[in-house]
Structure 1
Amino acid sequence: MRNFETNVQLLKYRVLKEVAARAYEGNLMESYYEIPKIISPGPKAKLRCCIYKERAIAQERIRLAMGGDRRNPNVIEVIPIACDECPVERYQVSESCRGCISQRCIKNCPKDAISKTKNGKVVIDHELCIECGRCAKVCPYGAITEHVRPCERSCKVGAIAMNEEKKAEINIDKCIACGACVSACPFGAVMDKSFMVDAINMIKNSRGGENYRTVAIVAPALASQFDDCSLGQVITAIRNLGFDYVVEAAMGADMVADKECEELVEKGFLTSSCCPAFVSYIQKQMPELEEHISHNLSPMAEIGRYVKINAEMPVKTIFIGPCTAKKAEQQKPTVDLWIDCVLTFEELQAMIDAREIDMPSLDETTLVDASPWGRIFGRSGGLTEAVLEAVKEKGLDFAVKAEVCSGIEECKTALLRAKVGKLDKNFIEGMACVGGCVGGACSLTHEAKSRVKVDQYGKNAENKEIKTAIDKYQVKV
């Protein structure tokens, strides 16, 4: 079993693996109440106050691993019972308080929530405190500290707040499904819904390709995820899960770059459409810029569309990548025609191990379709480089001046400047995750060398031009 970056990721993997194994065996519902006992065998609790709470939380993880609440369109959910270890009060007085006579904190509190104790130090009445933070700002010793929950701090769009019960709550009107909170929560109380069971059922119901073919569309960031085996062995492992074919999302990226450069020339200013969290951010936070979003599908949807239109028989397409926002994108009417399900790298690992597939021992299956430019979409700046290459190959008389944004904070800055006419650029490449797709919330690893691995994956491409790759590509389904 691989080494995981955190024990939260390991716990999530264990649940996913148990669910995947039983989904493949066809006895998932019968095992629904047995899995928590496997995750937390007892008799003593290892992670929580008691074995009963551990198992109750495990049960909630299983529910989300099976798709969660289908009535809730958001792909990120909070497990309330697991959200109880963070500090409840946002502002607290530390031992640094000297009981000074200036009393700035007391005088600046609008609700008289701060008072002095008998020993001269101050105390906050949290029943009165409105968490405005004025006391912390004026304290000369910095003795009043702010405790921001990791999920809140990680959410750069303000979609997470504490409800009346002091549990994390997601505002679906603000959430862009980037998954930053999923990675940030140190107790795993925020989790993305898994549609892994749906994917397994699609594979099983195809009856070995008799009813329809199942096609795995793999994101280029896959090249950065596995150190103990080659990418070709990973592709073979995916085939061994029951997929009939594996295609590169990078080929869809080539198609997008080819179209997007022409749209940019035609319109004069464009924001990218490849990252669904970035697109969602514009739509929810800056709708006045929505008209500038590229009308092209994302690489995932573009290659899914190509495969389904050109296949000789019915096809189910399942995307595999590092992104939680792709799960939300799949639900859009413009995308669900072309993509039937989305899996993450975490779910892929769980499925491979559930089937006891030993990847290092496998033969290699080589993917040779996409160009280097489509493959480097997996990291920040890759999309811009591909658009520049497409403009060059087409001989278009247009100077691309791009703003490459790594992470939603950089995206916000660029969009605000564009909104007020202060951005001296004509193309914004927006990636909600820092580093691009290699920094996705559901990546197995977030190493610095991930970018290098994606670049090497690009260099290994046989088709060196975007046009050549597109012209040679033929659907093999």
Structure 2
Amino acid sequence: MFQFETQLKKLKYEVLTEVARLAKNDNLTVESIERIPYEIIQGNKAMYRCCVYKERAIVLERAKLAAGYLANGDNVDDEFVDIKEDDQIIYVIEAACDRCPINKFSITDSCRNCIAHKCNEACNFGAITYAGGRAYINQELCKECGMCKNACPYNAIAEVMRPCKKVCPTGALDINESDRRAMIKEELCVNCGRCMSACPFGAISDKSLIVPVATKLAKGRKMCAIVAPAITGQFGTKISYGKIKNAIKKLGFEDMLEAACGADVVTVHESNEFIERMEAGDKYMTNSCCPGFLNYIEKTMPSEIERVSGTVSPMIATARYIKHIDPETEVVFIGPCTAKKSEAARESLRGAVDYVLTFEELLALFSAFEIDVENCVDELVDEASIYGRGFGAQGGLTAAIENYIRSQGLEVNFAPVKASGGSEIKKAMTMAKIGKLQGNFIEGMMCEGGCINGAGTLVTQFKSKGVFNKTNAQATRKSVTANEKIKEYEGIDLERR
């Protein structure tokens, strides 16, 4: 039995499993969806909310999102069978939002009521008052500029932000002034899912495509799975990459390919593209394999979009390889990333990947189809190089390019800047925009630490990273080089634009 780190992870798994089971048995109806909360939350005693009725209402909203409907508190009447370009992937489940009563700045007991009153002098809005020997902030007047905090010599002013708002890299997560609920500005959202991971109430979730995948697997449709390198370490030390492959095939997939194979090909193509750009006089180039990073540049720094590599991501490269061999095969990408769902829907990339699932959704499929991964056969998985598999963590792409340049004896100044997480990406891109980047290549990963810390993972990177590094090093039996892999992909379009 899989050990969940939090109750929220377990609850999401239970909802996804119920939805997948209904889809598998061709019994997914409005009535069956509305029964899910009673299957999961039994009895009349509330565990986490004010009452069992609210808990069931929240589970229903989760079930609707998992089944492909909008979780908006209305009737189940707006179907989302597919995800189209520019569709929103991340949604706030309004019933679950705690409307955190948090003021960004507040005076702590460390206030000494000093004579200088520097906090008052720094405030341009008259929000600082004094009573009972200490300062107070009038929250109705406070504009949350932070000047008082910077001015206080005692560090007596605390800064607290909502977890969801704090981690959003673009400011897309905002607060509704009328009821203090979280809301997402879709025009700024990059669908990275950081807010979903951060919310301790599970009030934010991603739209799922588990229903069409489960339905088609049950009906025996011809489907092939592509799995991201970050999957190693997600199921613990006892479950190898080979067992995961066997379990995926038992679901009904004809085969499972490593996205790391596409990563090997991307390494060659992107390295050569980088050399061409530098010879043409470009000051820098960025990677294009992280859709959250790509969306970030498009929405916050559109002037720099031409600096993004024109090479497709490993997911698209591998999918196009499968479609090249058999156009009738439907391709399902399985990874840790919610933003991959939006990447697959891009008009310029459509036709390569049919569906995208997260590792959370994969685990739910295993349960719905009653597959015990630990007891599956340990198949040999050695199609990709260790460098291709390294794409799953921060610095992996950079290491792959460095290895290729070194192995080919290419003469080029490759000076990478590795940035993972919203703050590092913002700093790197800002420096690049003003011409002060300390390098000529930006490896941008929207999740801190890379894909192993994606929003759709099962465990934290602190648990998975050691297994990820060890397993990838041991599992690559034969010496696969990027040059060997690029020959297999001859004739495959590797251009993103």
Note if contact 1:463-1:469 (Cα within 8 Å) is conserved in structure 2: no
2:240 corresponding residue in structure 1: 230
Note if contact 1:251-1:470 (Cα within 8 Å) is conserved in structure 2: no
Kindly provide the amino acid, as one letter, of the partner of residue 350 in structure 2: D
2:208 corresponding residue in structure 1: 194
Aligned match for 2:483, one of 451, 467, 477: 467
1:154 aligns with 2:167: yes
Q: CA deviation at 1:415?
A: 2.0
1:279 aligns with 2:288: no
CA spacing shift, 1:449–1:82, aligned 2, 3 Å? closer
Aligned equivalents of 1:376 and 1:246: distance in 2?
Answer: 18
Aligned equivalents of 2:275 and 2:226: distance in 1?
Answer: 29
Aligned equivalents of 1:87 and 1:337: distance in 2?
Answer: 45
Kindly provide the amino acid, as one letter, of the partner of residue 485 in structure 2: A
CA spacing shift, 1:415–1:325, aligned 2, 3 Å? same
CA spacing shift, 1:141–1:423, aligned 2, 3 Å? closer
**Cα offsets for 1:22-70 (capped at 9, x unmatched):** 1111212231111111222230111101111111111111111123434
1:425 corresponding residue in structure 2: 439
1:399 aligns with 2:413: yes
CA spacing shift, 1:106–1:340, aligned 2, 3 Å? same
Note if contact 2:127-2:137 (Cα within 8 Å) is conserved in structure 1: yes
Note if contact 2:99-2:181 (Cα within 8 Å) is conserved in structure 1: no
2:46 corresponding residue in structure 1: 45
1:353 corresponding residue in structure 2: 367
TM-score normalised per structure 2: 0.88
Bigger shift: residues 123-132 or 320-329: 123-132
Aligned match for 2:182, one of 168, 178, 182: 168
**Cα offsets for 1:201-256 (capped at 9, x unmatched):** 3324xx424xxx20110001111212232221111111111211111111111111
Q: CA deviation at 1:105?
A: 4.2
Aligned equivalents of 1:320 and 1:436: distance in 2?
Answer: 16
* CA RMSD after TM alignment: 2.4
Q: CA deviation at 1:449?
A: 5.8
**Cα offsets for 1:382-423 (capped at 9, x unmatched):** 111222233344443323222222323222222222222222
Note if contact 1:393-1:467 (Cα within 8 Å) is conserved in structure 2: no
Bigger shift: residues 444-453 or 237-246: 444-453
CA spacing shift, 1:122–1:215, aligned 2, 3 Å? same
1:307 aligns with 2:322: yes
CA spacing shift, 1:471–1:453, aligned 2, 3 Å? farther
TM-score normalised per structure 1: 0.91
Aligned match for 1:261, one of 271, 278, 285: 271
Aligned equivalents of 1:249 and 1:468: distance in 2?
Answer: 16
Bigger shift: residues 149-158 or 320-329: 149-158
1:181 aligns with 2:195: yes
- Residues 93-172 of structure 1: pairs in structure 2 closer than 5 A: 93-100=107-114, 102-117=116-131, 119-164=132-177, 165-172=179-186
Kindly provide the amino acid, as one letter, of the partner of residue 314 in structure 1: E
Count of residues in Structure 1 that have an aligned counterpart in Structure 2 = 468
Q: CA deviation at 1:277?
A: 0.8
**Which segments of 5 or more consecutive residues in structure 2 lack a partner in the other structure?**
71-79, 279-283, 492-497
Aligned equivalents of 1:223 and 1:406: distance in 2?
Answer: 20
Q: CA deviation at 1:100?
A: 4.9
Q: CA deviation at 1:257?
A: 0.9
CA spacing shift, 1:331–1:17, aligned 2, 3 Å? same
2:355 corresponding residue in structure 1: 341
CA spacing shift, 1:25–1:105, aligned 2, 3 Å? same
Aligned equivalents of 1:200 and 1:406: distance in 2?
Answer: 33
Note if contact 1:248-1:369 (Cα within 8 Å) is conserved in structure 2: yes
Aligned equivalents of 1:341 and 1:398: distance in 2?
Answer: 38
1:382 corresponding residue in structure 2: 396
